[in-house]
Structure 1
């Protein structure tokens, strides 16, 4: 096939990479107070420099820092806002087979963007590495909707009433804090920002929806709230800034949180969210069929996450190509692209595979891209 993709997506990895052992040890030493923050930062810098060189070697058009400075894909970013506090909830997130650590983010005041948010320096370092290489920097952050879901999680919700008697003020502050953060990344040179978003998974899983919490979510009209939070946060941005989103069903130590196809959210998420590109998980039968892709509106693109990041076993090449052809029945091939379904280490624990296997996965993605699109 010689179909050209109409997108400017390029070869992208979703975001995170397995943390190298030297970085894991440094983080442990820092937690044990046997090294300083400066020592840890030096180790992080070297690990990220090595990672970016590997990203260039595998042919990626966009580099991430692997989320090497984070413990979680989402919470570390939330903790960087004013008005957000890091506490231990007493209970982790419940995945299909495991429970995570128990960190969370709750309100400690009114939410504001912090101009000294540490992620800005993190991005600046990544950009400094890519400036002299044939690769562009990409910034991944959790979606505004994900912050809202965290703030209303169980007993966290009590803090909302304390600081936001009018919940509309909370929505406004989340939207403004995110809008300000995105513009700050832009001013540092970011031109591709990805909003990682597990919040929509709540509406896909029949088992969850059968629970009291699930029924409450389904009947609350919360999809419209999540949509508005995301859209308001990304409106009136510079024309040369690309906003993508990655819709995830959970990715922790090779485990998942939710199952189910995209049908229940397609009319909202696919038709109305004003992003440029959706990175979607399609690596297993849990993701359902491709029919909901017909709801993707306008000229928005979809990156099919057909290769799993949860296992090192390589997929059958022809099966992946056949599935791309199947998806093209619902969205034209020139609006489709390919990636792994998620990152390799959404938390510092990482998925159950080796560093060699993660790079072999990306090499397979690239070779299939080269065959299906040129």
Structure 2
């Protein structure tokens, strides 16, 4: 078995890392008006340079900016699309004392359009800091529909969702991908919680209450995503990461991939899938039977929610188990999610995240060579 020289890599990662304290302090200062936006960006540049070096030192081939310029993995991007209005998420305390991020509702109040190159400047800085493969992470376009459903999309501008709404969003995403490709981006990942949420019966019931059919939605979303893929520039790898929630080490949904597997893996024309498989919440590997030749699944076997390090022999056992359904050549390994999908970060030590990255790299080398 050979190592891969193109993404996804045998040892890969989702993208976000815990923010250093000095960056969090600078963000607070900027929010209070004590430093300018330009001064904050200089601090972000410093932190990104450091996290790039840390990724390279660990041995990663795909390099991100740690999502250090973002507050939330999705809102910072979506609110810069024309026609989109987003609410700031609210942190709520659950009965057991843990905190949960109440999902914000994305509202489409006008025609959706690409009014600026959203990630371009950030990508250019990242690319200037590494000779390896820079990866850009953006939220999935399904985020504009799932949380609010039909009620969250202006009927004045979209009396019917099909085809104009889906076409407009896909066009906006296509223009963003083209701007990134022109600057040299070859690896883009779309982060999607919605398809994973559709594996959870409570979330499926919530979709029904909004007037959607949870059995039909995965197939509709596959067609939606394919409209974006159709505009993907040549030479770009487009991956998708599925997440069941990742806020301060908590999660929002549970359930195996079976309800969405065929639409996700077979109908959707994505190149690679980062799938959470760090605990029983994600179910077994049987849904992987829908993966066709030519696509990759990056097994998220290492949790980012807890600091305890997984056993390497257990990771190998689970890779072997998955390889009974998908050829080993089509599998890779990564942590199950980012370490800091929001600015708050998961409740683990900084050193623990790097120990887990090293574990992924060591395990992948022993499995794939």
TM-score w.r.t. structure 2 length?
0.93
How far apart in 2 are the matches of 1:129 and 1:310?
28
Contact 2:170–2:224 (CA under 8 A) maintained in structure 1? yes
**Structure 1: tracts of 5 or more residues without a match:** none
Q: How far 1:321 moved relative to its partner?
A: 0.5
Match in the other structure for 2:165 = 170
Does the Cα contact within 8 Å between 1:106 and 1:150 map onto a contact in 2?
no
Distance 2:139 2:21 in 1: 25
Alpha-carbon distance change, 95 to 162 in structure 1, aligned in 2, over 3 angstroms: farther
- Shifted more, 15-24 versus 87-96: the winner is 87-96
Q: Secondary structure at the match of 2:184?
A: coil
1:230 to 213, 225, 228: 225
1:200 aligns with 2:195: yes
The aligned counterpart of 1:146 is 143
Partner of 2:48: 48
In the alignment, which of 258, 267, 270 is matched to residue 263 of structure 1?
A: 258
CA spacing shift, 1:88–1:355, aligned 2, 3 Å = closer
Q: Distance in 2 between matches of 1:91 and 1:357?
A: 25
Q: Of 341, 349, 360, which residue of structure 1 is paired with 2:336?
A: 341
On the 8 A contact 1:203/1:218 being kept in 2, the answer is no
Between the two proteins, the alignment pairs up a number of residues equal to 365
C-alpha contact (below 8 Å) 1:6/1:335 kept by paired residues? no
1:105 shift after superposition:
3.2
- RMSD in angstroms over aligned alpha carbons? 2.3
**Higher mean displacement: 297-306 or 202-211:** 202-211
Matched ranges for 1:350-369 at <5 A: 350-369=345-364
The equivalences for 1:105-184 within 5 A come to 105-117=106-118, 119-130=119-130, 133=131, 135-152=132-149, 157-168=151-162, 169-184=164-179
SS at match of 1:55: helix
Do the aligned residues in 2 keep the contact of 1:83 with 1:108 (CA within 8 Å)? yes
| Structure 2 alignment gaps of length 5 or more | none
Larger mean Cα displacement after TM superposition, 80-89 or 57-66: 80-89
Pick closer, same or farther for the CA change 1:345–1:214 going to 2, 3 Å: farther
Is 1:37 matched up with 2:31? no
How far apart in 1 are the matches of 2:3 and 2:242? 21
> What is the CA distance between 1:203 and its match in structure 2?
1.8
Evaluate the alpha carbon distance shift between residue 326 and residue 122 of structure 1 in structure 2; reply closer, same or farther with a 3 A threshold: same
Between 253-262 and 103-112, the greater mean CA deviation after superposition = 103-112
**Conserved? CA contact 2:106–2:143, under 8 Å:** no
Q: Is contact 1:5–1:333 with CA below 8 Å preserved after alignment?
A: no
- 1:110 deviates by 1.1
Which residue is equivalent to 1:81?
A: 81
Query: CA shift at 1:209, angstroms?
Result: 3.3
Q: Distance in 1 between matches of 2:246 and 2:166?
A: 27
